[in-house]
Amino acid sequence: ELLEPPEGSVPGEHLLLDGYGLMQPEEADAVLKSKSQQNVWKMVAPDMTLNGEGKATYNGKLFSTTKGPLTCKSLRDCQLG
């Protein structure tokens, strides 16, 4: 099941992570440059979860847009990905 942005979110908007602010790279990478960059998902995936309210988190901190958190309709208390 896919995560859903809150109503009113704009496609392409960068995400916010509670405590870290806007997640925007200094410059966009057209292509991942190295094998280690390609393995980032394997490193972060275990810490990406849905909480009891179905809101997406990383290490317990909410992922959100300027309009609110990313959510999942039916899944709760589980790992993402």
Q: Could you give the C-alpha distances from 13 to 8, 36, 79, in angstroms and in order?
A: 11, 26, 24
Determine the Cα–Cα distance for residues 61 and 70; give it in Å rounded to an integer: 12
Tell me the pLDDT tens digit for each residue of 29-79: 666 667 766 677 888 899 999 999 999 999 999 999 999 999 999 999 999
- E strand intervals along 1-79: 16-17, 21-22, 48-50, 56-58, 61-65, 68-69, 78-79
Prediction pTM value: 0.81
Candidates 71, 79, 80; CA nearest to 3 is 71
Chain-centre distance for alpha carbon 1: 14
